[in-house]
Amino acid sequence: MSKRETGGGEGVEVVANEPFSGQPLFHGAYSSGQYTYKIYYLKKKVPLFIRMLAPEEALQIHEKSWNAYPYSRTVYSNPFMKSNFHLVIESLHTNDAGTTENIHRLPAEQWRSTSVVHVDIVKDPVNPTDYQPEEDPSKVTSHKTGRGPFQGTRWWEKVQPVMTCYKLVTADFRWFGLQARVERHIHDFERRLFLKFHRQVVCWLDQWYGLTLDDIRKLEDDTQEALQRQIESGEVRGTVVT
Give the model confidence (pLDDT) of 107-122 as tens digits: 999 999 999 999 999 9
Flag whether 225 is in a domain. yes
Q: What is the structure's pLDDT at 72?
A: 98
Flag whether 166 is in a domain. yes
Q: Domain tally for the chain?
A: 1
Flag whether 85 is in a domain. yes
Global confidence as pTM: 0.84
Q: What is the CATH number of the domain that holds 111?
A: 3.30.530.20
- Confidence class for position 7, pLDDT limits 50, 70, 90: very low
Flag whether 79 is in a domain. yes
- Confidence class for position 180, pLDDT limits 50, 70, 90: confident
Flag whether 242 is in a domain. no
Flag whether 64 is in a domain. yes
- The domain in which residue 215 lies consists of 3-231
Q: Across the beta sheet with 71-77, what order do the strands follow?
A: 11-20, 33-41, 60-68, 71-77, 85-94, 164-173
- What is the torsion angle, in degrees rounded to the nearest 10, for the CA atoms of residue 226, residue 229, residue 235 and residue 238? 30
Task: Bin 36: left if φ > 0, else alpha if -120 < ψ < 50, else beta.
Answer: beta
Flag whether 174 is in a domain. yes
Q: DSSP 3-state assignment of 32?
A: coil
Whether the Cβ atoms of residue 30 and residue 23 lie closer than 8 Å to each other: no
User: pLDDT by residue (tens digit) across 64-87?
Assistant: 999 999 999 999 999 888 899 999
Flag whether 122 is in a domain. yes
Whether the Cβ atoms of residue 200 and residue 122 lie closer than 8 Å to each other: no
